[in-house]
Amino acid sequence: MQSTKRKPFPFHIVVFLFPAAAIYTLFMAYPLLDSLRLSFFDQNVSGAPVFVGFQNFQTLFGTPQWSGHFWNALQNNFVFFSIHMLVQNPVALLLATLLTAKRLRGRAIYRTLIFAPTTLSVVIVGFVWSLILNPSWGIFDNILTGLGLGSLIQPWLGVPGTSLVAVSLMSVWQWVGLPMVLFMAALVGISDDLIEAARVDGASAFTVFTRIKLPLILPTVGIVGVLTFVGNFNAFDLIYATQGALGAPNYGTDILGTFFYRTFYGFQLQPGNPTMGTTIAAVMFVIILGGVLLYLFGWQRRIARMQGLS
């Protein structure tokens, strides 16, 4: 055993890593990284790539036709992400806390029902919520009228003020199950003795949650946060399915994923522009990588230090 460990690269590590690394490199990492190269190229008249350095990035940030769309999509993406952080994850945490309550009847049923939307395809999510929010036969407007809030009714998915929020909430509705499951796993890991001790001291459920549970599940909060970030800045399907490649209305729901797709593959009469599309993807990559590194070297180190102290 010892002798294996002293070698710089023991054979069994290769055996464990190689199959995953090989398939991943061949079918994912290499094609993606190789494609990213295109962001430093432009296509000449005959379609052959010509190296142009950072020129595409200058075009993206320096010309109003491009930068306007880019900053708009980035801003929308931040709103999209913020709504997930402020609604999806707290709701997931609340549901997970309730579902891990002691002596809860029907736990399995609740859990299954609440998780069910996560298994749906975007086609269903888009169809059903468009039906519910439809200005002509949507039930949501009837509910508002019933509550005496009829004056608030809007063409929800059709006006810039509400469409981005509405689509974000549709996405929250669909995906809340995943962080919920992760939070549940972390919450049941907390020692019962600790909570009982606090209870005996007269602490309320709220106090137990904020003072004991929350600090202990901070690592999971971090994981959920970074997964939300990565998922949201790479999001595409739901917006494309409900609001189209243009992020209607008037780019009000356009995020980086739709902006990239439209540019790379073209749209209606608009031929695709692979080099500029790749440039957008490269910027997305930098943003997401930045977020992940911030998590790894900021948040995770700090958590590790805190836990090291304890």
**Contact between 297 and another protein per CB under 8 A:** no
Alpha helices in 37-153 (DSSP H): 55-62, 64-83, 89-99, 107-115, 122-133, 139-146
**Contact between 298 and another protein per CB under 8 A:** no
CA dihedral of residues 32, 38, 43, 48 (deg, nearest 10):
-70
Cβ atoms within 10 Å, residue 237? 15
Q: Scan for tokens 């036969």, then name that residue.
A: 137
Write down the least CB distance from residue 82 to another protein, Å: 20
- CB–CB of 133/242 below 8 Å? no
Write down the least CB distance from residue 252 to another protein, Å: 10
Closer CB to another protein, 83 or 245, in the complex: 245
Distance CA 51, CA 43 (A): 9
Write down the least CB distance from residue 80 to another protein, Å: 15
Residues of this chain, 35-54, that bind another protein according to CB under 8 A: 35-36, 47
**Contact between 303 and another protein per CB under 8 A:** no
Total residues contacting another protein (rule CB under 8 A)? Answer: 141
Distance CA 302, CA 296 (A): 9
Distance CA 229, CA 295 (A): 10
Q: What share of the chain is helix, strand, coil (3-state, %, to 5)?
A: 75, 5, 20
In DSSP notation, 247-302 reads: TSSTTTT--HHHHHHHHHH-BTTB---HHHHHHHHHHHHHHHHHHHHHIIIIIHHH
**Contact between 299 and another protein per CB under 8 A:** no
Q: Which residues contact 208 (CB under 8 A, 6 or more apart)?
A: 195, 198, 199
Contact with another protein (CB under 8 A) among 57, 61, 285, 299: 285
Contact with another protein (CB under 8 A) among 49, 55, 72, 115: 115
Residues of this chain, 186-245, that bind another protein according to CB under 8 A: 186, 188-191, 194, 197-198, 201-207, 211-212, 215-216, 223, 230, 234, 236, 240, 244-245
Q: Using the rule CB under 8 A, give the single segment among 78-86, 106-114, 144-152 that binds another protein.
A: 106-114
Contact with another protein (CB under 8 A) among 86, 108, 143, 294: 108
Write down the least CB distance from residue 12 to another protein, Å: 4
Contact with another protein (CB under 8 A) among 52, 61, 87, 117: 117
Write down the least CB distance from residue 195 to another protein, Å: 11
**Contact between 143 and another protein per CB under 8 A:** no
**Contact between 308 and another protein per CB under 8 A:** no
Contact with another protein (CB under 8 A) among 58, 82, 121, 145: 121
CA 12 to chain centroid: 36
Write down the least CB distance from residue 274 to another protein, Å: 8
